Amino acid sequence: MSDRSFENKKHEQLEQFRTDDSNKKLTTNQGLKMSEDELSLTAGERGPTLMEDFHFREKITHFDHERIPERVVHARGSAAHGVFEVYESMKEYTKAGFLQKPGQKTPVFTRFSTVVGERGSSDIVRDVRGFATKFFTEEGNYDLVSNNMPVFFIQDGIKFPDIVHSIKPEPHNGIPQATGAHDTFWDFVANNQETAHQVLWLMSDRAIPRSYRMMQGFSINTFRFVNEQGKARFVRFHWVPKLGVHSFVWDEAQKISGNDPDYNRRDLWEAIEDGDFPEFELGVQIIEERDEFAFDFDILDATKLWPEEDIPLKIIGKLTLNRNVDNFFAETEQVAFHPGHVVPGIDFTNDPLLQGRLFSYTDTQLIRLGGPNFHELPINKPICPFHNNQRDGYYRQTINKGKVSYHNNSIAANTPKPATEKEGGYAHYQEKVDGRKVRSRSATFNDHFSQVKLVWNSMSETEKQHIIDAFSFELGRVKSMMIRQQVVDMYAKVDLGLAAAFARNIGAQVPTAGGLNLTKSSPALSQANTIKTAATRLVGVILDNGFDDADVKEILHGLNAQGMKYHIVSEQQGKVSGRNGGDMMVDHTFSTTDSVNYDAIYIVGGTAESSKFHKKTTQFLNDAFNHYKPIGATHDGVKWLEELNMKDSPGVVVNGDSKAFVEQFTQAVAAHRHWDRQVN
């Protein structure tokens, strides 16, 4: 058979497996027509998801098993070991053992990740970030599985395959990777308007964090705290970075993706290696059960946040990441998280997204890690003993002795036997459930836009402009004008100014009516109000032969004393010599690094700059200036700022006194960005 005949034969074989789903009725894989595909089967409108929902289980199971071996989502990850320390006893609220004593410490393992991209994609993409922490407690493993944004795209777990399918590379050509800037994602957004809140966050600066060390974590779902007396309260969890919440600007993020796609992974690793251990405080928002319906949103709705001004954040402990992994695959890749891994004192609610996650996570691990024994992998293994009658399966490591593997039994005196609550046995919170079996959602979930307006009102003018720019870029990549217009019309329901601004940029019809007349804001949501510190910031120091070594070394010592780090950047590797005979080792040349890799630039220069040095230095300064970063100059470096008309701009520090320069430059670096600067 000729090559062409073989290709034709292969084409014919493949054709029989192609599907055309136009004008077809939705069915299960068994051919059963389904009347509903957006709502799980629940016990009442606000009740738990029922196990008999075969359609949900089939849909989620198929989705969870679609890709091997990397995670379907959160494939691109970085992780570290650490410790969690309690600030104050939470005994009043929960009987969870690891939260009882001030100063009590629990070993943890935390994994950060992007969501959409494959394992080899860039760290620096516009995306949600995962923030998952496994607590190895004496009562068993507890997994707090969070994201860096306070809400999620959908309200019901049954729609999770749909949102992920829409944002993944389009199936006909596998393009684009690790981005939502394409037709299928925005088509889903426009036709599933519960996504409006999450998408606004996705367009915000939170989607391009400067570092895993500088981003928040949110449980998103609503859980319960249950104390020794059996009293329950609703709770959500927050991680708050001690370094504040900071982000890249978009042009900078794109350049870093090409220059160093491992930037956030490297940043986390090097910070720990250098002893700059990332720290996050754990906060909880608690609502009494009697106040379940006291707010203008449903507290079980994962597309809604809990404003801190209405439900205060109580800080209860601190996470410190202090040890890098020894083997990336064995630990970072094989760690298995699950929101259903809880300890006594932490329970679930009828949040329909959470209910779906409770099934999906275990199901995912079964296919990804080869079977039911993933808990025996060293990174997942509890530190406390575990005993049950489960046996065999792929990759079983435990060698069980004896003939008994069932309950109840008399041969082994009925061991292992259940523990009573007093003995630490887990008992589910007894909640009354009363309702008809329905595929329905409570009407309290129907408001998709009020909190989007709240977030928009809470943003600074700079953040608002970044959101408009992000919508303009993302939708500008969408080929269908129909989809563009649908999204414009959708956000016109939120804020007319927002929708009109990006509509003009993408060639859509500018809306003339719409918007919500809501003025409430939440200052806690804006990065303008975050912690500002120069600690652990990296400064690029541009030197050439003939620099004033005595003065420069004093300044660099001063920057170190303020917690900053620096890299010496010059034209060639090796040493750069000062005018007084002092040498400094070059960390990078202009060929091995770039301005975008630094939080600030300090330009000194020297007396022997080549034309290449001059050109590259100018490029460094222009990028830093246009990315609103702090710039400092002393000695021969001042001439560049004068030549480029930067000297008198905000965030640009020039001072001939070394101590004064260090003080002023530290303040400029702590500010992170200088948005009042006029850039080209």
Nearest C-alpha neighbor of 621 from the set 534, 538, 537, 541: 541
Specify the residue for token string 């890098």. Answer: 324
Specify the residue for token string 């080792």. Answer: 585
* CA 312, chain centre distance (Å): 22
Pair of tokens at residue 303: 């597309």
| Distance, CA of 331 to CA of 379 (rounded, Å) | 5
Nearest C-alpha neighbor of 446 from the set 299, 305, 297: 297
Beta strands in 127-216 (DSSP E): 129-137, 140-147
Cis peptide before 511 (omega within 30 of 0): no
> Using CB atoms within 10 A of its CB, is residue 171 exposed (0-12), middle (13-18) or buried (19+)?
exposed
Residue 631 has φ and ψ, to the nearest 5°, of -130, 130
- What residues are annotated to the active site? 74, 147
| Distance, CA of 12 to CA of 5 (rounded, Å) | 10
In sign, the C-alpha dihedral spanning 36, 42, 48, 52 is: negative
Nearest C-alpha neighbor of 60 from the set 33, 34, 28: 28
Residue 664's contacts (CB-CB under 8 Å, 6 or more residues apart) are: 653, 655
Do the beta carbons of residue 569 and residue 590 sit within 8 Å?
yes
Do the beta carbons of residue 550 and residue 580 sit within 8 Å?
yes
| Distance, CA of 494 to CA of 476 (rounded, Å) | 20
Nearest C-alpha neighbor of 653 from the set 667, 643, 673, 639: 667
How far from 618 is each of 5, 520, 541, 605, 640, CA to CA, in Å? 60, 45, 13, 11, 7
The DSSP letter of residue 100 is: S
| DSSP calls for 25-73 | --B-TTS-B-S-SSS-EEESTTSPBPTT-HHHHHHHHHHHTSS-SS-SS
Burial state string for 53-79 with b = 16 or more CB within 10 A and e = fewer than 16: bebbbebbbebbeebeeebbbbbbbbb
| Distance, CA of 458 to CA of 188 (rounded, Å) | 26
How far from 372 is each of 53, 375, 380, 500, CA to CA, in Å? 23, 8, 12, 52
Do the beta carbons of residue 92 and residue 232 sit within 8 Å?
no
Nearest C-alpha neighbor of 623 from the set 645, 643, 601, 606: 601
